[in-house]
Amino acid sequence: MVKFNPDLLPQAFKSCPICHAEGSLSVAVSKESSGKNVKYLLCTACRSTWVDLIETGMKLVVGPDEHVGFKSLAEWANLSQKPLDLSVMGKQLPSVKTPTIISTTNRKNSAIGCGFLLVLVVIIAIAINTCWESIPATETIDLSVSVSFDNGQFTIINNDSFDWRDVKLTLNSDYRLTYPLLSAKTTYTVGAMQFTTSDGTMFNPFTMKPLNMSISCETPDGNRGWWYGGWTAPTPTVPETTPEIKTDVVKQTAYPDIMERAKQEWGEDFEMVKYEYENQVEAYEWIMRQTAYPDIMERAKQEWGEDYEMVKYEYENQVEAYEWIMRQTAYPDIMERAKQEWGGDYEMVKYEYENQVAAYKALQ
Residue-level pLDDT at 65: 78
Domain range for 87 is 1-93+107-140
Q: Is 248 a domain residue?
A: no
Q: What is the pLDDT of residues 152-198, one digit of tens each?
A: 889 999 999 999 998 999 998 889 999 888 999 999 988 888 899 88
If asked whether residues 54 and 2 sit together in one domain, one would say: yes
CA atoms within 13 A on the CB side of 325: 24
Same domain for 64 and 34: yes
| Residues linked to residue 39 through DSSP beta bridges, in sequence order | 29
Burial 119-143 (b: 16+ CB within 10 A, else e): eeeeeeeeeebeebeeeeeeebbeb
Is there a single domain that holds both residue 81 and residue 21? yes
**More reliable by pLDDT, 287 or 133:** 287
pLDDT higher than 90, residue 320: yes
Q: Which residues pair with 37 in a beta bridge?
A: 31
Choosing from 204, 230, 256, the residue where a domain stops is 230
Spatial distance between the Cα atoms of 90 and 94, rounded to a whole number of angstroms: 13
Residues 273-282 have pLDDT tens digits of 888 888 999 9
144 and 305 in contact (C-beta within 8 Å)?
A: no
Does 343 reside within a domain?
no
Query: Which of these three, 230, 264, 279, is where a domain ends?
Result: 230
Question: What's the pLDDT at 315?
Answer: 95
| 167 and 36, same domain (yes or no) | no
In this predicted structure, what is the pLDDT of residue 246?
Answer: 58
Q: 265 or 131: whose pLDDT is higher? A: 265
pTM over 0.75? The answer is no
Q: CA-to-CA distance for 201 and 15, rounded, in angstroms?
A: 25
For residue 173, tell me if it sits in a domain.
Answer: yes
Q: Which of the given ranges, 79-88, 201-210, 281-290, has the highest pLDDT on average?
A: 281-290
Count how many domains the chain has: 2
Same domain, 34 and 135: yes
Q: pLDDT-based confidence at 96, cuts 50/70/90?
A: very low
- What CATH number has the domain bearing residue 150? 2.60.40
Give yes or no: residues 124 and 17 share one domain: yes
Q: Average pLDDT for residues 145-152, to the nearest whole number?
A: 88
Residue 217 falls inside a structural domain: yes
* Cβ-proximal residues to 10 (8 Å cutoff; 6+ apart), any chain: 23, 25, 26, 27, 41
Give the whole-angstrom CA distance, residue 114 versus residue 130: 24
- Assigned domain for 26 exists: yes
Domain co-membership, 26 together with 134: yes
pLDDT band at 82 (very low <50, low <70, confident <90, very high): confident
Structure confidence at residue 36 (pLDDT):
60
Mean pLDDT value across residues 92-107: 37
Q: How confident is the model at residue 95 (pLDDT cuts 50, 70, 90)?
A: very low
Q: At residue 326, what are phi and psi to the nearest 5 degrees? A: -65, -20
| Same domain, residue pair 168 and 123 | no
3 state SS for the chain: CCCCCHHHHHHHCCECCCCCCECCEEEEEEECCCCCEEEEEEECCCCCEEEEEECCEEEEEECCHHHCEEEEHHHHHHHHCCCCCHHHHCCCCCCCCCCCCCCCCCHHHHHHHHHHHHHHHHHHHHHHHHHHHHCCCEEEEECCEEEEEECCEEEEEECCCCCEEEEEEEECCCEEEEEEEECCCEEEEEEHHHCECCCCCECCCCCCCCCEEEEEEECCCCCEEEEEEECCCCCCCCCCCCHHHHHHHHCCCCCHHHHHHHHHHHCCCHHHHHHHHHHHHHHHHHHHCCCCCHHHHHHHHHHHCCCHHHHHHHHHHHHHHHHHHHCCCCCHHHHHHHHHHHCCCHHHHHHHHHHHHHHHHHHC
Domain-located, residue 282? no
Query: Diameter of the chain by CA atoms?
Result: 107
Average pLDDT, the chain: 79
Tens digits of per-residue pLDDT, 2-15? 456 788 888 888 88
* Percent of the residues in the chain that have a pLDDT greater than 70, as a whole number: 76
Query: Which candidate, 176, 163, 171, places its Cα nearest to that of 147?
Result: 171
d(C-alpha 332, C-alpha 304), whole Å: 32
Could you report the per-residue pLDDT of 38-66, keeping only the tens digit for each? 778 888 887 788 888 887 788 887 878 78
Q: How far apart are the C-alpha atoms of 162 and 218, rounded to whole Å? A: 10
99 within domain boundaries: no
Contact 290, 316 (CB under 8 A): no
Query: Greater confidence, 198 or 319?
Result: 319
Between 221 and 335, the more confident residue is: 335
What band does 335 get if pLDDT is binned at 50, 70 and 90? very high
Q: Are residues 130 and 62 in the same domain?
A: yes
Tell me which of 210, 230, 250 is where a domain ends: 230
In a domain, 172, yes or no: yes
My answer on whether 129 and 25 are in the same domain is yes
Examine the domain organization and report whether 52 and 154 are in the same domain: no
Tell whether 164 and 206 lie within a shared domain: yes
